[in-house]
Each structure stands twice: as C-alpha cells, then as structure tokens.
Amino acid sequence: MTDVQMTDVPALAPDEAQQKLKFYQKGTFTVGNRLISEGERSVQASQARSNALTSGHRACQGCGEALGARYAIDAAMRASGNDLIAVNATGCLEVFTTPYPETSWQLPWLHSLFGNAAAVATGVAAAMRVKGKKTRVIAQGGDGGTTDIGFQCLSGMFERNDDVLYICYDNEGYMNTGVQRSSATPPAARTATTPALGPEPGNVFGTGKFVPKIAVAHNIPYVATATVADLHDLERKVVKAMAIHGARYIQINVPCPLGWGAPSCDTIKLARFAVECGLYPIFEAEHGRVTHARKIRKQIPVREYLKLQKRYAHLFRGGVDDPRVARIQAICDAHIAEYGLLGDDEEV
Amino acid sequence: MLKQIEGSHAMAEAIALCRPEVICAYPITPQTHIVEGLGELVKSGELENCEFINVESEFAALSVAIGASAAGARAYTATASQGLLFMAEAVYNAAGLGLPIVMTLGNRAIGAPINIWNDHSDAMSMRDAGWIQLFAETNQEAVDLHILAFRLAEELSMPVMVCVDGFILTHAFERIDIPEQAQVDAFLPPYDPVQVLDPENPASIGAMVGPEAFTEVRFLAHYKQRQALRLIPAFSAELGKIFGRATGGLLRTYRIEDAETVVVAMGSICGTIKDTVDEMREDGVKIGVVCLVSFRPFPVEALGEVLAEAKDVVVVEKSIAVGVGGALADNIEGALRNLEKRPRLHSAIAGLGGRPIPRDSLRRLFETAVTDPWEGPHFLDLNDRVVGREIHRVRKVRRSGSTAENILRQLALTSQLPQD
Ligand SMILES: Cc1ncc(C[n+]2csc(CCOP(=O)(O)OP(=O)(O)O)c2C)c(N)n1
Ligand code: SF4
Ligand SMILES: [Mg+2]
C-alpha cells in the first residue's frame, strides 16, 4: 500500500526507461501519415482533396503515371483554390482517363493533339489574362509528347515565359502506342523499336536528352524533377511551382509496369531505386540555376535497379553481367558528381 | 471611312474592329503585313483587351488559338502556304473541336520548288478539314468577309478561313472603305461559346470517341457546315445593309442573264475575268461569270441555279490536284450533275505560283472551250516547247537533276532561239 496519489505521478517515465521510438514515417517517403501535424500532411492525406483525377480510370495496375498525375493535380488544385484548367497531350494519361462519355477528370480538361499541349495551354492562359481571371493553367503529357514531338511548343512556351506549369510524366518511352523508344528512353533499355537483339541489344548509348536541363537553360523561374517514390516532395514541388507565375516545368519519373516489364507492386520500389542509384537525379532549379538536389539516402548499385526490370533482362543473360551495366553505373556516378547527390540530406 | 491603304492593313483594321482577344502571329509571306498591322494596333493601345502572342511556329499559332478559343476568348491567326501545311494537324483539330477561330490565308503556292507567289494550292490542301472557306475577290470584300467570318464562326461554332490572294490583294494599295466600330459592334455580338473550359463547370473536351459515334459526329459536322449555306447569304445581307453596299454571299454573278458560256472562278482573278467578259460582250459573245465566294460549304444548289442555262462552263482555278486535275472543276461537276440540260464542263488551271493570267489568254481559253474543247485539265499558257524538251531530256538521262532548274536553263537558252 502506498499513499502516493496517481495525480502526483509524472506523466513520463524517466529518460533511461523510455522506449526510443523512431517515427521513421515523418519526413520520409510515406504519405498517409497521421503522426505529423495537419500542415505537414500530404494533400492526398486530406479528406478535402479534390480527387481531380478520380477513380475508375483504365490505367494498368501499378501505373506510375496515374499515381503521379493524381498527386500532382490534386496539389495544384489545392494551391489554386480549385481554380485550375488542365491541357493534356495525347498519350496513356489522356486515353486511360477519358474515352467519351466517361471521364476521370473533375476539373476543366482539354485534349487537342499529341505535340501541342504547351501551346494550347499558352492559349488558355492568354484567354484567362485577357478576361481578367485568376484561373491557373497546367499542361501535361508523357515523355514522348514532351521531349520529342511537343518539344518545339514546349520550348516556345518556356521562352515566352508563359504562365503555364508543364508537367511531364516520364515513363521513358511511348507507352500508349506499345512501348517504343523516345528520347527519354535510357541506354540499353529494350523497347519495341530498340529490341533486345543483335550484338548490343536494347537502346544505344550516347543518345537521348534530359529535358529538365534544357528547361533550366531557358532560365525559366522554376524547374524540378520529382518521383512517385517521394510523393511528399512531389506535392511540395507542385505547390511551390503554383506559387510562381511564368513558365514552370516539373518532370516526374513514373515507372510503367507494362513497358518496363516489372510487377505492378514494384512501381514505388523501382522509382525509389532509380533515385537511389543516381540514375534519376531529383533537383530543383530557379531562374537558370540549380538550387537544390535531393540527396541519396542509401546508395544502391544500378545493377539492383536494372535487375528488377525485364526491359534490361538481356544485360544479365546467362548469369553474367553485360559490360554495359558498368557503363550505366558510370552514368549514375556522373549524375551523383554533377548534382552532388551524396552527403547530408538538407531537406528534412 | 474611305482610306487609300494596303490590303493587308485594311484587313488588320477590320479584324481589330472585331475585337479579337487573342492573336497569334508567325511570319510567312504574303500574310506578314496583316499580323504586323495587328501587332501595331495592340502595341499602340488602339486595340485593347487583346493578347498578341509571337509564337514559334504555325503549329503553335493555331494551337494557341485553339486553347484561347476553348477557354472562351475570340481568337485569330493568319498564315499561308507552307505555314498552313505546318499547322495541318491543328487545322483539322480546331474544326473537330468546333472552335470558332478565324484565320486569314494569304493564298500562296506550296513547294517544292519553294515559291512565294500566289495560287490556291494552300487553301485546296485543307478543303476537307472542316473549316468554312471564303474567297475574297477584292480588298473591300476581304475586309467585309473577315467581319462576316467572326459572326459566322461563332454562330455555328466552327472555324472560318478567309482566303485572300497573296500579293494581288495583300500587297495592293487601293481605296477601301473601313467600317466604323459601331457598325461592326451592331453586327457582331460578343463571343458566347457553346462549350468552354470553366472551373465552375468542369467539362472534359477533346476526349476519344470510337466507331459507335464517329460517323454521327462527322455527319453532324457536315450538317452544321451546310447550315452556313443559309447563314452566309443572311449575314451578308445584314452586313450589306449596315455598310450600304452589297457584299459576301455564296457567289456573285456577272452578266450571266443570257450567257451561253459561263466562267467560274474564285478570288481576285474574277476581276480580270469580268474585264475579259466585258470585252467579249462588246463583240457579241454571250458570256458571263460566276465568282464563287464560299468554297466550303460548297453551294451546289446555288451553282446549279446560275449554271442551269449555260451551254459551256469554264472553270478557271489556281491549283492542281496532281494526278486528277482541277479540284474546283471536280466540285463544279458535282453541281452540274443533276441539271436537266447539263452544260459541257471545261477545266483550266491558271496562275500557278504567281504566273500572270492575262486577258488575251483568258479570251483565247473561253473561245477555244466553245470551238475546240479539250479533254481533262488545260494548263493556261503552258510553255509546251520547254515541257517537251524536259520530257525528252529526262528520258535520256537518269540523273536528270532538278526539273525546276532545268526549265529555267532551257528558258534562258530558248530566249536566244528564234521563236516559232
Ligand atoms: C502526331 C501524332 N503522332 C503519333 C501519335 C501516336 N501516339 C499517340 S500516344 C503516343 C505515345 C505517347 O507517348 P508518351 O508521350 O511518352 O506518353 P505515354 O503514353 O508513354 O504516357 C503516340 C506515339 C499521335 N497520336 N499523334
Ligand atoms: S502502359 Fe504504362 S503508362 Fe500506360 S497505363 Fe499502363 S502502366 Fe500506365
Ligand atoms: Mg511515355
């Protein structure tokens, strides 16, 4: 028996008796986080999210593009107070979200052509300006619609600094037409037009372009790369972009289970590995200067990333690594050096 | 107000009076002066509430117009020749989306060989794109047709192309009556879109459609364009009343009352043809002209009416559908098909790449049509000697080089030869 009252007992155990819990979710890739304050939570975690790209669409299971678009557009919707118009290039996103009379889009949405989304968005923005409306405008397309056929319109929109946020969903190929090579297809990757045949199967080395860098060279107010492996970061970048006026560009790495030859459940893992091996640098740039690079948390050899995908299966035939794996590793190393991807994470 | 003014500038002033809200500009001869004129009007502040956008290509020009129009703004652009082909995909798209964009086409030949001069190949290349296509005979008409075009486009929710002959109209200085703002305002109400991108009322525009609806969609586009056969005369009459002059219409006739031979043509060449007709009438030839204003929609019935009494119909057109002949002649043929007394049809291709069309040649053509009709398309003023030599040369030498270059060499050579 003790006469100590319960109310006299301190609320916390002595320091040495406390469990050292690490709430790893905070500041990590995880999204549905109830342990952090309201303000820090993701847009998707909010019941008030707009669901601008709502359920019921026809994307493949595990489609990175569908995921990326949902987060990006909802974040843009919140940032604009739901006063937003979207222009969409032809491609998977356009096709799987819409065939008439159905649509997954709960915001005004216009599809014109494959290669003109940036210019059409310029027109919409011009109309808003002339009408004195505050409505914001985004354009979106796949890597093919952005880096190849839509590139001239994109560059024109950048150069004029039109008030458009362009979002490129980079799944590294023309997926809607059956997985052909685009200028964003990485070296060695097998596509329908870079078959895994001949002495050097898959896509060639030394070709292709990384449009975020070209966007930076246009000196536009904001450029960023993002990944569906870090949806907090993706949302933050969209929100940041929406706070700026003028031409803005965000390119999101969105794994495509079908085109990459990977299980649907590996989409996030693949996106994370693409970042962690250094192949897909995640950075931000403002007015022509790189201002921030997202550090690699736990560096992995690119081999780990490649091995998960059938589009690289020819690199590991017969249990031996093709020497080109080392060449891809060199590309990763170059990215790590160029963007300073190793070291302390300044982000959290 | 009457002004001594360049055609392009007059058109720019007329377009400005229509209060366009977004203008997309990309240079190509011979439409440059029109957008330059509009650029000045915007920059000087004379044309208010208008975004003037210097784009990076014609494909972008029309794409920007598509975005602006879909978002509820009155949109305008202009192009010619290669520019129209460069925007071809968007030309069809604008029509398919039912966007009332108005575009001036400064008619010019299409290369190769590259050629900046006037003919109608460009307009003909897009004749099935779903746009209304109106051809101006004079700069006065070009001014009027632009004002008509905005009204027509917005009434039907369909794009309209105003075709004006490059250089012959665009670069000609003449006396033109520029309407007053109040007159245009009385005729042209503000743009009220059929469907618009609006966050208050979100719609998905331009989505995919399958075989179950596509035929009906296209039928209705065709049906809708045929409505213009009624609206063009009605709007023209309304406009004519405001301006106090006859203007527009589906077609215009000249001295066809008792005509046995009727010439059909489009655009500025109608003026030269009228002069030729006057000349021939003085000599007692029963000849008249039908000047076609609306090429799309094609006024089959109206044409049938004015051509019903003719014995011979001569179609003079400034383009060639390679491998077939004259596209306009083909269309006219369709209009004649159901006539009781079907006139003979004679197809002539003239004025390609800016080749002058002199009255003498026209007169010879019209006379020959009656006395010695030809088969298929007749190329007016074709240099048979040069063509003959080139055909023989090409047969002999495999690496025969550029036809265009060879013809010019021949011309240089033959100019020194005695003429036969
Ligand atoms: C002018 C034109 N060329 C080609 C096509 C065919 N096409 C439609 S979608 C597509 C691939 C889209 O690839 P991407 O932009 O990367 O988007 P994804 O489907 O991969 O998301 C192609 C080639 C087209 N619709 N229009
Ligand atoms: S093919 Fe790829 S990008 Fe297209 S819907 Fe499927 S997973 Fe998504
Ligand atoms: Mg793609």
Distance between A316 CA and the closest CA of chain B, angstroms: 41
For B192-231, how does the pLDDT look when each residue is reduced to its tens digit (9 = 90+)? 999 999 999 999 999 999 999 999 999 999 999 999 999 9
| Cα–Cα dist A196/A213, whole Å | 29
- Chain B residues close to A150, C-beta within 8 Å: none
Both B166 and B29 in one domain: the answer is yes
Residue B388's domain comprises: 384-414
User: Residue of the nearest CA to atom 3 in ligand 2?
Assistant: A256
CB contact under 8 Å between A127 and B198, yes or no, is no
CA distance B400 to chain A (A): 36
In this structure, the number of other CB atoms found within 10 A of the CB of residue B82 comes to 18
Query: Are residue B189 and residue B78 in the same domain, yes or no?
Result: yes
Minimum-distance CB partner of B22 among A115, A130, A156: A130
- Give distance in angstroms: CA of A13 to centre of ligand 2: 52
Beta-carbon separation of B64 and A112 below 8 A = no
**Distance from the CA of A122 to the center of ligand 2, in angstroms?**
27
Query: For residue A325, what is the enclosing H or E element?
Result: helix A324-339
Helices (H), A53-186: 64-79, 92-97, 117-130, 143, 151-159
Q: Answer whether residue B144 is part of any domain.
A: yes
Could you give the angle at which helices B327-336 and B300-307 cross, rounded to 10 degrees? 70
**Cβ of A66 less than 6 Å from ligand 1:** no
In chain A, which residues have their Cβ closer than 8 Å to the Cβ of B49? 130
> Rounded to an integer, what distance in angstroms lies between the CA atom of residue B53 and that of residue A323?
51
Picking from B186, B165, B174, B71, the residue whose alpha carbon sits closest to that of residue B123 is B165
Taking a 5 Å cut-off on Cβ, the residues next to ion ligand 3 are: A 142-143, 171, 175
Instruction: State the pLDDT at residue A30.
Output: 57
Last residue of a domain, one of B210, B243, B276: B243
In a domain, B222, yes or no: yes
The answer to the question of residue B314 being in a domain is yes
Distance CA B239, CA B17 (A): 14
Q: A96 CB under 6 A from ligand 2?
A: yes
**CA-to-CA distance for A323 and A247, rounded, in angstroms?**
41
Mutate to test the pocket of ligand 2, among A93, A146, A175, A253 (most ligand atoms within 8 A of CB): A175
Contacts of A106 (CB under 8 A, 6+ apart): A50, A51, A52, A53, A54, B202
Nearest ligand to the CA of A88 is: 1
Distance between the two ends of chain A, CA-based, in angstroms? 49
Question: Residue B238: which pLDDT band, with cuts at 50, 70 and 90?
Answer: very high
Closest-CA distance, A134 to chain B, in angstroms, reads 11
Pocket flag, ligand 2, residue A275 (CB < 6 Å) = no
Residues of A within 8 A of B69 (CB-CB) are: 123, 127
Q: Cα-flanking dihedrals φ and ψ of residue B25, to 5°?
A: -125, 135
pLDDT at A4: 62
Q: Which atom of ligand 2 is nearest to the CA of A171?
A: 3
Distance B295 CA to ligand 2 centre (A): 44
Using DSSP bridges, classify how beta strands B261-266 and B287-292 pair: parallel, antiparallel or unpaired. Answer: parallel
With beta carbons under 8 A apart, name residues in chain A contacting B73.
123, 126-127, 130-131
Two tokens at B368? 């020959």
d(CA A246, CA A251): 17
Chain segment B251-280, per-residue pLDDT in tens: 999 999 999 999 999 999 999 999 999 999
CATH number (domain holding residue B276): 3.40.50.920
Separation CA B262–CA B268 (nearest Å): 17
Q: Are strands B377-379 and B294-296 parallel, antiparallel or unpaired?
A: unpaired
| A210-241 tens-digit pLDDT | 999 999 999 999 999 999 999 999 999 999 99
B394 and B363 belong to one structural domain: no
In terms of domains, do B402 and B375 share one? no
Nearest neighbour of B57 by CB, restricted to A124, A152, A159 = A152
Q: What CATH code is carried by the domain that includes residue B169? A: 3.40.50.970
DSSP structural state of residue A18: S
pLDDT of residue A36: 75
- Please, what is the average pLDDT of chain B? 96
Chain A neighbors of B68, CB-CB under 8 A: 123-124, 126-127
Tens of pLDDT, residues B89-139: 999 999 999 999 999 999 999 999 999 999 999 999 999 999 999 999 999
Domains and CATH numbers, chain A: 51-339 (3.40.50.970)
Residues of B in contact with A151 (CB under 8 A): none
B49 with B7, same domain: the answer is: yes
Does the Cβ of A68 fall within 6 Å of ligand 1?
no
**Measured from the CB, is residue A258 less than 6 Å from ligand 2?**
yes
B49 shares its domain with B198: yes
Q: Which helix (H) or strand (E) holds B336?
A: helix B327-336
Residues B262 and B373 in one domain: yes
Nearest to A124 among B67, B89, B203 (CB): B67
Within this chain, do residues B96 and B139 fall inside the same structural domain, yes or no?
Answer: yes
- Paired residues of B262 in beta bridges: B288, B313
Q: What is the 3-state secondary structure (H, E, C) of A190-251?
A: CECCECCCCCCCCCCCCCCCCHHHHHHHCCCCEEEEEECCCHHHHHHHHHHHHCCCCCEEEE
Enumerate residue ranges in chain A where pLDDT < 50. 1, 347-348
A144 three-state secondary structure: helix
**Chain B contact residues (CB < 8 Å to A):** 21-22, 24, 49-51, 53-57, 59-60, 63-73, 75, 89-90, 93, 97, 197-199, 201-210, 213
Q: What is the side-by-side strand order in the sheet with B377-379? A: B251-254, B287-292, B261-266, B312-317, B344-349, B377-379
* Six-digit token string for B103: 């575009």
pTM: 0.95
Q: Which of A85, A122, A159 sits opposite B64 (nearest CB)?
A: A122
Same domain, B395 and B345: no
Question: Closest partner residue to B206 among A112, A135, A159, by Cβ?
Answer: A112
Query: In terms of pLDDT, which residue wins out, A18 or B311?
Result: B311
Coil/strand/helix, residue B36: helix
- B258 and B206 in a common domain: no
Chain A residue with the nearest C-alpha to that of B73: A127
Q: Residue A191 phi/psi, 5° resolution?
A: -135, 180
Residue A35 DSSP one-character state: S
Percent of chain B with pLDDT over 70: 99
Specify whether the CB–CB gap between B74 and B21 falls below 8 A.
Answer: yes
What does the pLDDT look like over A294-327, one tens digit per residue? 999 999 999 999 999 999 999 999 999 999 999 9
Q: CA of A94, closest CA in chain B: separation in Å?
A: 8
Whether residue B96 sits in one domain with residue B52: yes
- Assign A139 to helix, strand or coil: strand
By DSSP bridging, strand A136-142 and strand A84-88 are parallel
Protein residue with least CA distance to atom 5, ligand 2:
A59
What integer pLDDT is reported at residue A45 of this predicted model?
A: 85
Q: How far is the CA of A74 from the centre of ligand 2 (A)?
A: 20
Between chain A and chain B, the number of residue pairs with CB atoms below 8 A apart is 153
Distances (CA, A) of B54 to B21, B99, B107, B160: 14, 21, 21, 21
Closest approach of chain A CAs to the CA of B205, in angstroms? 5
- In this prediction, residue B23 carries a pLDDT of 98
Do B368 and B405 reside in the same domain of the chain? no
- B420 occurs within a structural domain: no
Q: How many CB atoms lie within 10 A of CB B219?
A: 10
Instruction: Give the whole-angstrom CA distance, residue A109 versus residue A76.
Output: 14
Question: Cβ(A93) to ligand 1 under 6 A?
Answer: yes
Considering only CB atoms, which residues of chain A are within 8 Å of chain B? 82-85, 87, 94-95, 98-100, 103, 105-113, 115-116, 119-131, 135, 152-153, 155-156, 159-160
Distances (CA, A) of B69 to A96, B204, B279: 26, 15, 48
Number of domain units in chain B: 3
pLDDT band at B413 (very low <50, low <70, confident <90, very high): confident
